[in-house]
Structure formats: structure tokens, C-alpha cells
Amino acid sequence: MAISEAESVVMDVLWREYPLSAEDVVAALAKTTDWQEPTVKTLLNRLLKKRAIAAEREGRRYLYRPLLKREDYIHAESKGLLDRLFDGRVAPLVAHFSERRKLSRKDIEELKRLIRELDHDG
């Protein structure tokens, strides 16, 4: 399922809290975007058509909730990035960031910890 960047912003709101009305989503996005209600409703409708979210009627409004799990979205997006740019391999991705000095000391320690765990489990 291809989710645009703008649609992912709406999904982030719904992953944090649901069910929400369109007005609730607009209010949540007001802090970080200048999107008006028609824009948000367009994005919600696109997500409905993609079956990333569901809507349930409550009185005169709809309440939206995610169908697509955040973990599944992150997995698909990260796999797509690795496949497109790094032939499906993680090591060249890490090398790319290290060459550009984009890894903090904390990042490096976390990578070392993960590698130790993989060595221990393997």
C-alpha cells in the first residue's frame, strides 16, 4: 500500500489516538501544519479508498481509525528504501550515514548493542 508523505502525517495522528473525527484530526494537525479542513478530509478519503483507515458513522459525523498498523507501514517503507537505494542491504545504509557523519555517539552505541545481541542470539 503506497501512502504519500501527507497521508502519513494524518496516519501519525490516528496511530497516536483513535477514533477521531475529521475536526479532531484538523485540530491535532493545526500545531504542525497549516492544512484546512478540506485538505484533511481529502487525505482521509484517500486513506479510506486505500483501506488504510476505516470510518464509522456517529450521528452527523464520521469517526476514523487506522486499519494499517504503524509497524507494518514502517517495515514496508524501510524495506522499500533499502531495496531502492542499497540493494536490500542494511550495512551499506549504515555506511552511508557514517560516511556523512550523521551517526551520533548514541547511535553508534545502539548499533553496537544490537550487533552484540545478534551475535549472542545467532
What is this structure's pTM? 0.80
Q: What pLDDT is recorded for position 84? A: 93
d(CA 25, CA 4): 17
Contact criterion met (CB below 8 Å) for 49 and 55: no
Q: How confident is the model at residue 23 (pLDDT cuts 50, 70, 90)?
A: very high
Q: pLDDT tens across 56-106, in order?
A: 999 999 999 999 999 999 999 999 999 999 999 989 988 988 888 778 899
d(CA 62, CA 54): 9
- Domains, the chain, with CATH or none: 5-66 (1.10.10.10), 70-121 (1.10.4040)
